[in-house]
Amino acid sequence: MVITYLGKQFFKLQLGDTTLAVNPISKESKHKTSRFGADIALVTVNHPDYNGVENLSFGDREPFVANGPGEYEIKEIFIKGFPSESMVGLPAAAGRSAAQAGGEKRQNTIYTLAIDKMNVCFLGALSSKELKTETREGIDGVDILFVPIGGKGTLGPADAYQVAVSFEPKLIIPMDYEEGSEELKKFLKEGGSPKTDPVDKLTVKQKDLEGREGEIVLLIPSL
């Protein structure tokens, strides 16, 4: 599987001829987006920074879209969606969280994927480290975890790392942050990896995960 980061929480996962996109950036967003054909699209929260499925159609290619809790099976990829909350919306005011500043509460869907003999978990725009018991119980044996670290309606760096390690993943991929930001520096410091070198893309197979435990992988946004 090849993982490419396209900014915010927009990722492309490629397995053979199958392309899966997660949280594509909409043309309504202020952030730069990318356009390509995808077979599957996962949307965790209905917000322009994360719901741009219109950018994933190309030629005759139209993606199957999962945009909420449930169970899905497409192209031998097994997907489960679990409900959670997000506060993406209004930016946080000085010294206050998005919730305290009146940010808009939305439903966020946490997705798990069984793909290429690996278990992948995508936390999306999660805003609270407190998860429902049934969600915790439903997410088991995570190999690769995608976690938001930038705050502004999602987890801040300290809470993000605490949530990430609680799932005991082999690899942790931070997302939704500005390059060189204090949030990124704090997250890497929490993980004891302040000098982590970023990579253009991640090519990973099940055998590559052997012996790895909570390793942070930084991906360079491909814009």
Comparing CA positions, the residue from 196, 197, 145, 205 lying closest to residue 175 is 145
Q: How far is CA 207 from CA 2, 116, 170, 204, in A?
A: 14, 11, 12, 8
How confident is the model over 99-129, as pLDDT tens digits?
444 455 789 999 999 999 999 999 999 999 9
Residue 3's nearest CA partner among 203, 208, 206, 220 is 203
Residue 193's pLDDT is what?
86
| Cα angle 18, 83, 140; round to 5 | 65
Helix H segments across the chain? 133-138, 157-166, 182-190
One pLDDT digit (tens) per residue for the chain, 223 residues:
999 999 999 999 999 999 999 999 999 999 999 999 999 999 999 999 999 999 999 888 899 999 999 999 999 999 999 999 999 874 444 334 444 444 557 899 999 999 999 999 999 999 999 998 999 999 989 999 999 999 889 999 999 999 999 999 999 999 999 888 999 999 999 999 888 899 999 999 999 999 999 999 999 998 6
pLDDT at residue 102 in the model? 45
The domain locations on the chain are 2-216
pLDDT score at 152: 86
Q: How far apart are CA 22 and CA 49, in angstroms?
A: 11
What is the reported pLDDT for 104?
Answer: 59
At 194 the pLDDT is: 84
CATH code assigned to 2-216: 3.60.15.10
Give exposure, 169-202, as e/b (b: 16+ Cβ within 10 Å).
bbbbbbbbbeeeeebbebbbebbebeebeeeeeb
pLDDT of residue 98: 44
According to DSSP, residue 182 is labeled H
Distance CA 8, CA 23 (A): 8
Q: What span, in angstroms and rounded, lies between the C-alpha atoms of 214 and 156? A: 18
